[in-house]
Structure 1
C-alpha cells in the first residue's frame, strides 16, 4: 500500500508529484455520496511477480486523485501463483481509503488451443468494465457522467506514467490515449499487431515474408507524426493500446461501444483495433499515442525501456513540451485504406 518503486523495480520514479497534474484531482463535493470519476480496470493472470509496482503505482495515483472518486475493477483468471489471494487481501485497505473495489474471476483461457483468442479477450475486458457499464446513467448512478476509464495491463509503471496519460487525455480532448509498451531492451514496440498509424499501416514496417522487422523506423510512412514521435510529442494514430489506455467512459455506459471480436465480413483484428474502428465510425477518432510514457512487462524490461526511451519527467522538461508544440492537430477522417 506504500510501495517504494526504487527498492524492487529499481526505477527512478519521482517521489513527488509534479504541479503539472494539479488539476487532475477532483475538487471536494458537497454530495454525501461522491460520484466516481476515475475507473481503473485490469485483467490479471499469474501476476504476483509484478503486483508490488503495479498496484503500488495505482494506489498512489488514487490517493492523489481522491480515493473516494475512484473505483478499481480487477478480473483475475486461473492464476496458481497466489495472485487472487493477494488481490483479495487488498479489500479492507481499499475500503478504508474510500475506493470502491470489484474483484471477480474468470475461467476463460485466451491462449488455449482452438479457442477464439480475440473473443475471449473481449469478454474479459468487458467483464472488467461491467461494474461501470451495468449501472446506467442518471442522478442515482454512482458514476459521474464524464467518468474516465484507465485500462491497465500487467505492466511495471510509475505514478507519473498514469498521470501523464490522464493529463494528455484531458488537455488534448482525446477519446482514447495510449502509452508505448516495449519488448526487452526497449528495442522494439510490443503492441505492434493492434496499433496503426494515420497512414493505416503498422507503426513500423515488416517485410512480406516476416523475416525483417524494421523496428527502429517508427511511423515510416507518416512523415508529420514521425517528426512528432522523434521529438517525443503526442501524436494522433488510427489505433493503439501500448500496455495501458485512457478512455472516455460515457460511450461504454451508453452501450455505444464495447470490446468485441471480428464480424463475419471483417478481417481478423485485435480487440483494440476493432474498438478504434468502432470509435472512428462514431466520430470518436481522437486517438492519441504518448511517446513520453514508456512501459514494459517485467522489472528489467521496464528499466531498459525507460532508460532508452525516457522517463516522463525527463521528456516533459524538454523544450519540445511547450503548449503550442504539445497540442496535436486532429484529423477528422480515418486513413482511406482501413
Structure 2
C-alpha cells in the first residue's frame, strides 16, 4: 500500500479526481507524460531473463505499455537467451509495447586484446540505436539495465527519484558476494560491485584502496571517507561524480543535439570504463567553466549548472538471486509509512543539495589495475 502511494505519480491515472497540489514537494507531481526507452545488453543471460521479463511486464502494465520501447542487443549466447528473448517479444506484442530486439549469433563474445572497452561501448551504443535514430522528442528518458536481478520497486524508485531530484543521471547500487577462500568460513561479504566506475563528490572510490599496493580495506562499509556515507546509510539519494551500478536512468536530451553524447573508449584504449567516461562527458557538458577557466558555451543555454548525477541506494540490485536477496531495500518502507508533517519532513530530507562543481581531481585506476592509482582531472 505504501509503495503504491509513493509511486502513484508515475501512473497514467494519477491526478484524476484527486488533489495533486497537496504539497509543494516534487514527489507529488504527475509524471505520466514521460516516454522511456529501456536498453539492455545480454550475453548468456538465461538465469536472469525470467526476472527481467517479470519486472518489465509488471512495470509496463502499471505505467502504460505504450510509453515504453524495449531495446535489447544480445550476441554470441550459447544458452537459452535467444529463446527467452523470442518469448519476451511475444509478450511485448500482446502488450502493445514497441521493441527492438537483436540477437546476433555471428558476433562472437569476448574482446580483442586491449579493445574490451571499445567493444563494450559498441554494444551499448547498439542497444541505444533506437534512441539515436528516433526523431527528437520520441523519448524523454533512457533506462539502462544490466544483467541483474531486481524487483518492480527498485525500478520504480529510481524512475521517481530521477524526476524528483531533476537529475541528469540516476544510478542504483549493484552488489556481489566476494567469493574468496579467506572469507569462506565466516560467510562471503556482500560488496558494492561497480568500484571501477563509481566516484563520490570528493573524487574517491566507494571503498578505501591503499596506495601504492592497491589492496582493498575489506570488509569495509561503503564510502568510508565520504560525507555522503550518512545519506547512503539512511537510504537517501546522494550526488556523485560518476556511477552506473547495474541500473541507470539518463536524460534522453544528453544523447541528442546539441550534445550528442555516446558511449566511447578513451582514444580506443581500456584505460577507463565506458560508463565512467559517459559521466565525465556529462560533467564536461554541464560544467559552468571549462578546464581553462572559460565560460562553458556547450552547457544548455550557455549557463552550466554542473552535472546532476546521483546514486539512489534504495534501488539495489544483484547479479545472482541470493546476492539480490541480501542487498534488496524495497522491503524497508519505514519512511513511506509516515503521514502528515512527518511525511513532509521525510520527503524533504530526501532532496539532494546539488553541488555545481566536480572534484578538482578524481582518483582513478587506469586499466582497472588497483596498484596504478592516479589522480586525474574530471574531464
In structure 2, the CA distance between the partners of 1:60 and 1:127, relative to structure 1 (3 Å rule), is: same
Runs of 4+ in 1 over 4 A off after TM superposition: 106-110, 318-321
- Say whether 1:282 aligns with 2:285: yes
Q: TM-score, normalised by structure 1?
A: 0.84
Q: Is the 8 A contact 2:149 2:320 kept in 1?
A: yes
- Say whether 1:305 aligns with 2:327: yes
Q: Is the 8 A contact 1:123 1:259 kept in 2?
A: yes
CA distance in structure 2 between the partners assigned to 1:289 and 1:26 by the alignment? 26
1:117-156 matched pairs, under 5 angstroms:
117-137=116-136, 143-144=138-139, 147-156=140-149
- Say whether 1:84 aligns with 2:106: no
CA distance in structure 2 between the partners assigned to 1:241 and 1:82 by the alignment? 27
Deviation of 1:227 (Å):
1.8
In structure 2, the CA distance between the partners of 1:75 and 1:136, relative to structure 1 (3 Å rule), is: same
Deviation of 1:89 (Å):
2.7
**Which of 283, 288, 313 in structure 2 is aligned with 1:291?**
313
What corresponds to 1:168 in structure 2?
161
CA distance in structure 2 between the partners assigned to 1:71 and 1:194 by the alignment? 27
Q: Count matched residues.
A: 308
CA RMSD of aligned residues (A): 2.6
CA distance in structure 2 between the partners assigned to 1:166 and 1:65 by the alignment? 11
- SS at 2:47 equivalent: helix
Deviation of 1:318 (Å):
7.4
Q: Is the 8 A contact 1:37 1:148 kept in 2?
A: yes
Deviation of 1:295 (Å):
0.9
In structure 2, the CA distance between the partners of 1:313 and 1:68, relative to structure 1 (3 Å rule), is: farther
- Say whether 1:256 aligns with 2:260: yes
**Which of 308, 326, 331 in structure 1 is aligned with 2:355?**
331
What corresponds to 1:5 in structure 2?
none
What corresponds to 1:3 in structure 2?
none
In structure 2, the CA distance between the partners of 1:259 and 1:109, relative to structure 1 (3 Å rule), is: farther
What corresponds to 1:25 in structure 2?
11
**Which of 150, 170, 175 in structure 2 is aligned with 1:177?**
170
1:213-228 matched pairs, under 5 angstroms:
213-214=217-218, 216-223=220-227, 225-228=228-231
CA distance in structure 2 between the partners assigned to 1:102 and 1:35 by the alignment? 22
**Which of 45, 48, 51 in structure 2 is aligned with 1:47?**
45
Structure with bigger gyration radius: 2
Q: Which consecutive unaligned segments of at least 5 residues does structure 1 have?
A: 1-13, 29-33
Q: Which consecutive unaligned segments of at least 5 residues does structure 2 have?
A: 15-31, 178-187, 287-305, 362-377
CA distance in structure 1 between the partners assigned to 2:155 and 2:332 by the alignment? 12
Deviation of 1:125 (Å):
0.7
In structure 2, the CA distance between the partners of 1:183 and 1:23, relative to structure 1 (3 Å rule), is: same
Q: Is the 8 A contact 1:108 1:120 kept in 2?
A: no
In structure 2, the CA distance between the partners of 1:315 and 1:44, relative to structure 1 (3 Å rule), is: farther
**Which of 196, 206, 219 in structure 1 is aligned with 2:199?**
196
- Residue-by-residue CA offset, 1:185-211 (whole Å, 9 max, x unaligned): 562110010111101111111113133
1:63-74 matched pairs, under 5 angstroms:
63-74=61-72
CA distance in structure 2 between the partners assigned to 1:97 and 1:91 by the alignment? 10
Deviation of 1:304 (Å):
1.8
In structure 2, the CA distance between the partners of 1:267 and 1:132, relative to structure 1 (3 Å rule), is: closer
CA distance in structure 2 between the partners assigned to 1:215 and 1:287 by the alignment? 27
In structure 2, the CA distance between the partners of 1:280 and 1:108, relative to structure 1 (3 Å rule), is: farther
- SS at 2:157 equivalent: helix
User: Which one is further off, 320-329 or 163-172?
Assistant: 320-329
- SS at 1:210 equivalent: coil
CA distance in structure 1 between the partners assigned to 2:87 and 2:56 by the alignment? 16
